[in-house]
Each structure stands twice: as structure tokens, then as C-alpha cells.
């Protein structure tokens, strides 16, 4: 690890926030778990306990769903105009922005990500998500429909109505972005929410809850229940009075959510894993592709669902790209999140570190070779070295399965059809990228790739306005952009004779 520099001093409010066990937000009140239990959340840069948080389970989920139901059916929320909803959301975003530094620090402490990244990416993106959807509150429209039924004259139109009580279960890689990304369209469309943050990183979602009242959002509209997936998460997914579940996380749990949702056939949207191909042709601007591919995998310690984890390089440039990516990888400053010069932090938990390292072991046992990296760094905190693997093939687990850590496999190609078969030869289909100067080739490859997002000559560019989601087992539905509103609304056709 790079020699330690100073960590930044923790803001007073943040220090005070983690000093006390954090309760949950149900019906506008901060409450303990019905069981009285709490659980610890850790600082992955040190492995030490950061804070204690209420351990919600089924009973708390029941209370939160009842509050969300009452707020949806009877509360002031349903009579608040779209314009006022939009203004509340805008105030919510302004408040978040006002407290940006506190949120950035808390995110860095709880998740391990570099404070510089939290400041530059996580907090501004979260603010933008809320503002983007604030604008949509007044723009959710139906249509008028020309109909031909029975040869008579009818007026037919559609209404887009809020779907109702929504359960949102989010992961730990971008804790605050995931919370605001999911809350945005729910609030814009007039739904009410029970949000369950990941047990590894519950703190910024809870602190966001502190701003709800000040933004003017009525009690019960946003409820935040912290707890484990197998208990609180499962209770929310199975709850008979929840109309929709929005989930981001592993494909494995996504399938459990689908089963749990079957009881009342609640609507489900899923944003799951990926194993995204990043394809570099020999005619690409290689000097841009090398840092693009490096950031495409190592950003956020590789804990990104759309990470470019399978790098395919046309054989003529294979050695140069492997060499370039490996050199950049070896220069990444690995360090504690709260050091301002850190470029890559730890992975989120001991469990995740062990998972990533056991993938590396499996790769080595099947013949893969690490050009750089290859395992844990140090023995304090959950650091994994940025790792570039070669000598890999599509039969290996490291090539087939999502590692969700700082590990890229690099494979050469020569024939384009063979390349496409390999790039698409995965259960996933979240994202992909192609690097080439040939404009026809770029768009042809983009059309052939079975993925929800394709980048050309860039990697990982996401925007509140651009739909994001997966083909195949990478998910159901598209989040972000106006597409996401479809996941939070029901369409009602209204029809009447007019002659
Ligand atoms: P996970 O899928 O278990 O956790 C995500 C969320 O689901 C958390 O809030 C968790 O509490 C909840 N959850 C877990 N089990 C549940 C259940 N039975 N019912 C309802 N909710 C449940 O992810 P985990 O175990 O933390 O990470 C495992 C792997 O998942 C990673 O290595 C990575 O491959 C993938 N992952 C993908 C993410 C993405 O952005 N698509 C984010 C996080 C993990
Ligand atoms: Mg899990």
C-alpha cells in the first residue's frame, strides 16, 4: 500500500452521528427495532466497528408498510399537487447538497470509497437524481386514444397513476446513489416507500432520512428500515400489502425476490449482476482505450455492476494494452477512504474480500496468470490489489461469474464473429463497450451486443436521464430516464361514449 498520508479530520456532525446507535425512520418518527436489537456496521478501511444501527425485521417492516399504506391512501400526500411534489423533491436535493461534505465523509467511512470519489461522484450524482426526477413530477402524462370499437364514437384516454406502496432494497456499492435513484421516481409519481439499505452500508440512507421532514415530505411517505437481507429484506419482498419491489443486488437474490413476490404478484424490477465485455479493436485510439479500460474495471474497487470485467483486445494490440492497463493498475494509490490522495479504497467487507480472493485462487488453479496484483493487500482493512489476469478462457469461473472486485480478465481476439459470440456468451447483459475509430464497425458492434448499455470509445458514462438496466439475467426493467417512471406507475384506460 502507498505510504500513509493524513486522513482528513472527521466533521463534528459525522462523528456525533456515528457515536450513537442509529434508529430507523417509520411514519416520520425515529424508532428502535421492535426487538430492541442493533447490529454493527464496519469501516472497511480499518475493519473496525463504525456505528450501530437498529436491526429491523418482519415486525418493523410490517409497521413501515402500514405507515406507507396509510400515507398513500389517506395522508396529505395524495392531495399534494405534482408541482408541490416537485418542489419538495427539489428542496430535498438542495438540503442534500448543503450537507454534501457530511454525506461524502459518512459514505467514505461506511463503504470505504475514496473521499475524493464520494465528493466528486456519489454526492453530486445523488443530488442530480433527485433534481432530475423533481422535474418529472409535473410531466407524467397519459394519452388520448383513437378507438374503433363498435363503430361508435368514444372518448378514450389513459391516466398514469402511482403504483402504490413500493419496497426498495438496495446494495452497498453506491449506497446514497442507490437510495436517491430509487426514491426519485417513486416520489415524482406519488408513490410511498419502504427503503431497506444494505446491512454493510446503512448510514447515508439513514442520514438522508433526517432531511425528509425539513424538505416538507409528509410522514409515512419515506420509511427507512435497516436490517439484514434474509430477515428485513425478505419480509419486504414477500409483504402482501406492497405493490412493487425495486431491487438492486445479486442475481441470486434477484431470483429469491421474484419467488417472494409471487404471493401477491407484486410488480418487480431488478437491476442485477454483470460481466460486461469491453472490446478494444486494433484501430482504436489505444492511448485513450488503455485508461478507459483501467477505470472501467477499477473504479469503486471494481464493485460496479457494469464494470468492464472482461477486456477483449484485438491480437495486434494485445500486448500493448495488457502492458498499459497493468502499468496504470500498478500505480493506483490504494489506501483508506478518508485519505484525500487515495485513488482506490478497500472492498466493502471481509466477506467481499474473501469472495474476490477465492475467485483469484480459482483462476490461478485453472491456469490464469496475474500480470499485476493477485490477492489481498496488507492485513488491516479489506484491501485487494488491482489485478490484471491473462491466460484465461471462457470456461473459467473468473471469466463466467461476476467477481465484483478489482479484477479484469484480458483475452485476445482476431475474428469478429468469434469475438461477438464470446462477448455475448454470458448469462448477463448489463453493459458493454467498443473502442474503434471505424464508425460503421462501432455501430454494427453496438447493435450486435446483447446489453442494456453500450459505450463507444468511453466506459461507464451514466446519467440520470439515460436508461440503464439489463438484458438476460442482468435484470428486469430500465432505471433512470423517463423509462423508470413506467416502473412506478400503472396505466389506466378510461373510455366513454360521446354520441
Ligand atoms: P445481495 O444481493 O445479497 O444484497 C443486496 C441487497 O439485498 C441488500 O440490501 C441485502 O440486504 C438484500 N438481500 C439479501 N438477501 C435478501 C433476501 N433473501 N430477500 C430480500 N433482500 C435480500 O448482495 P451481496 O451478498 O451483498 O453481494 C453478493 C454479490 O452480489 C456481489 O459479489 C456482486 O456480485 C453482487 N452485487 C451486485 C450489485 C449490483 O449493483 N448489481 C450490488 C451488490 C452486490
Ligand atoms: Mg447476499
- 449 neighbors 439 (Cβ within 8 angstroms): no
Of the candidates 55, 102, 199, 271, the residue annotated as catalytic is: 271
Residue 197 CA, ligand 2 centroid: distance in Å: 13
- 344 neighbors 298 (Cβ within 8 angstroms): yes
* CATH code, domain carrying 347: 3.40.309.10
The pLDDT assigned to 47 comes to 97
User: Do residues 263 and 295 both lie within one domain?
Assistant: no
Residue 309 CA, ligand 2 centroid: distance in Å: 20
Per the listing, cell 442482468 goes with: 474
User: Do residues 74 and 176 both lie within one domain?
Assistant: yes
User: Do residues 234 and 322 both lie within one domain?
Assistant: no
Whether 425 is covered by a domain: the verdict is: yes
User: Do residues 256 and 361 both lie within one domain?
Assistant: no
- Spans of the chain, pLDDT less than 70: 1-4
Of the candidates 102, 107, 191, 305, the residue annotated as catalytic is: 305
* CATH code, domain carrying 139: 3.40.605.10
Rounded mean pLDDT of the chain?
Answer: 97
Q: Cell triple for residue 65?
A: 408498510
Ligand 1 atom 22: residue of nearest CA: 229
The pLDDT assigned to 150 comes to 82
Whether 4 is covered by a domain: the verdict is: no
Whether 157 is covered by a domain: the verdict is: yes
User: Do residues 332 and 357 both lie within one domain?
Assistant: yes
Whether 41 is covered by a domain: the verdict is: yes
The pLDDT assigned to 3 comes to 52
Q: How many residues does the chain have?
A: 499
- 16 neighbors 393 (Cβ within 8 angstroms): no
Q: Which ligand is nearest to the CA of 198?
A: 1
pLDDT digits (tens, 9 = 90+) for 361-375: 999 999 999 999 999
Return the closest-CA partner of residue 242 out of 223, 256, 228, 226. Answer: 223
Q: Cell triple for residue 456?
A: 463507444
One-character DSSP codes across 41-57: EEETTTTEEEEEEE---
User: Do residues 133 and 208 both lie within one domain?
Assistant: yes
| Catalytic annotation present for 351 | no
User: Do residues 91 and 138 both lie within one domain?
Assistant: yes
- Residues having CB closer than 6 A to ligand 1 are 169-171, 173, 196, 198-199, 228-230, 233-234, 237, 248-250, 253, 256-257, 271-273, 305, 355, 402, 404
pLDDT digits (tens, 9 = 90+) for 40-53: 999 999 999 999 99
Whether 317 is covered by a domain: the verdict is: yes
User: Do residues 207 and 85 both lie within one domain?
Assistant: yes
Range of the domain at 480: 12-272+475-493
| Catalytic annotation present for 350 | no
- CA 477, 478, 483, 489 dihedral sign is positive
Whether 239 is covered by a domain: the verdict is: yes
User: Do residues 190 and 334 both lie within one domain?
Assistant: no
The pLDDT assigned to 466 comes to 98
User: Do residues 150 and 69 both lie within one domain?
Assistant: yes
* Secondary structure (3-state) at 271: strand
| Number of domains composing the chain | 2
Residue 6 φ then ψ, to 5°: -70, 140
Return the closest-CA partner of residue 362 out of 424, 405, 426. Answer: 405
Whether 3 is covered by a domain: the verdict is: no
Q: What is the spatial distance between Cα 437 and Cα 21, in angstroms, rounded to a whole number? A: 55
User: Do residues 321 and 261 both lie within one domain?
Assistant: no
User: Do residues 165 and 209 both lie within one domain?
Assistant: yes
* Secondary structure (3-state) at 234: helix
- CA 75, 79, 84, 89 dihedral sign is positive
Which positions ≥6 away from 151 have C-beta within 8 Å? none
- For β-strands 431-435 and 407-413, DSSP reports them as unpaired
Whether 5 is covered by a domain: the verdict is: no
The helix (run of H) or strand (run of E) holding residue 454 is: strand 453-456
Query: Which residues lie across from 253 on neighbouring strands?
Result: none
Amino acid at each position: 500500500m502507498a505510504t500513509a498520508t493524513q486522513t482528513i479530520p472527521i466533521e463534528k456532525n459525522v462523528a456525533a452521528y456515528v457515536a450513537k446507535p442509529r434508529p430507523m425512520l417509520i411514519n416520520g418518527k425515529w424508532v428502535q427495532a421492535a426487538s430492541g436489537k442493533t447490529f454493527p456496521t464496519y469501516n472497511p478501511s480499518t475493519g473496525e466497528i463504525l456505528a450501530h444501527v437498529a436491526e429491523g425485521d418482519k415486525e418493523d417492516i410490517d409497521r413501515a408498510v402500514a405507515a406507507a399504506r396509510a400515507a398513500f391512501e389517506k395522508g396529505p400526500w395524495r392531495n399534494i399537487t405534482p408541482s408541490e411534489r416537485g418542489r419538495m423533491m427539489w428542496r430535498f436535493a438542495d438540503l442534500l447538497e448543503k450537507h454534501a461534505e457530511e454525506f461524502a465523509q459518512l459514505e467514505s467511512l461506511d463503504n470505504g470509497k475514496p473521499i475524493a470519489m464520494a465528493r466528486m461522484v456519489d454526492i453530486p450524482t445523488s443530488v442530480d437524481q433527485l433534481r432530475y426526477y423533481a422535474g418529472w413530477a409535473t410531466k407524467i402524462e397519459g394519452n388520448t386514444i383513437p378507438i374503433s370499437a363498435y363503430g361508435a364514437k368514444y372518448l378514450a384516454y389513459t391516466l398514469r397513476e402511482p403504483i402504490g406502496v413500493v419496497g426498495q432494497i438496495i446494495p452497498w456499492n453506491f449506497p446514497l446513489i442507490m437510495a436517491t435513484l430509487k426514491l426519485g421516481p417513486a416520489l415524482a409519481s406519488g408513490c410511498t416507500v419502504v427503503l431497506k439499505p444494505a446491512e454493510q452500508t446503512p448510514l447515508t440512507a439513514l442520514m438522508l432520512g433526517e432531511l425528509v421532514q425539513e424538505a416538507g415530505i409528509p410522514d409515512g411517505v419515506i420509511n427507512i428500515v435497516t436490517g439484514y437481507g434474509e430477515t428485513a429484506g425478505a419480509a419486504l419482498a414477500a409483504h402482501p400489502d406492497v405493490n412493487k419491489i425495486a431491487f438492486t443486488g445479486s442475481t441470486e437474490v434477484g431470483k429469491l425476490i421474484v419467488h417472494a413476490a409471487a404471493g401477491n404478484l407484486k410488480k418487480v424490477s431488478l437491476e442485477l449482476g454483470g460481466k460486461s465485455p469491453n472490446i478494444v479493436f486494433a484501430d482504436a485510439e489505444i492511448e485513450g482505450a488503455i485508461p478507459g479500460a483501467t477505470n472501467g474495471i477499477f473504479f469503486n474497487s471494481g464493485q460496479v455492476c457494469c464494470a468492464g470485467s472482461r477486456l477483449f483486445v484485438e491480437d495486434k494490440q494485445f500486448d500493448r494494452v495488457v502492458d498499459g492497463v497493468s502499468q496504470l493498475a500498478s500505480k493506483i494509490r490504494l489506501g483508506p477512504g478518508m485519505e484525500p490522495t487515495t485513488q482506490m479504497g478497500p472492498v466493502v467487507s471481509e466477506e467481499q474480500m474473501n469472495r474476490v480472493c477465492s475467485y483469484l485462487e480459482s483462476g490461478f488453479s485453472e491456469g490464469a496468470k496475474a500480470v499485476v496484483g493477485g490477492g489481498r493487500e496488507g492485513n488491516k482493512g479489506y484491501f485487494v490489489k488491482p489485478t490484471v489476469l491473462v491466460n484465461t478462457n471462457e470456461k473459467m469461473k473468473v471469466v463466467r461469474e461476476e467477481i465484483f472486485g478489482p479484477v479484469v480478465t484480458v483475452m485476445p481476439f482476431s475474428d469478429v464473429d468469434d469475438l461477438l459470440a464470446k462477448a455475448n456468451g454470458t448469462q448477463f447483459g448489463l453493459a458493454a463497450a467498443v473502442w474503434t475509430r471505424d464508425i460503421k464497425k462501432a455501430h454494427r458492434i453496438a447493435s450486435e451486443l446483447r446489453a442494456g448499455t453500450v459505450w463507444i470509445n468511453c466506459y461507464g458514462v451514466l446519467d440520470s436521464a439515460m436508461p440503464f438496466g439489463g438484458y438476460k439475467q442482468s435484470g428486469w426493467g430500465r432505471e433512470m430516464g423517463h423509462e423508470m417512471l413506467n416502473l412506478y406507475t400503472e396505466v389506466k384506460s378510461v373510455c366513454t361514449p360521446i354520441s
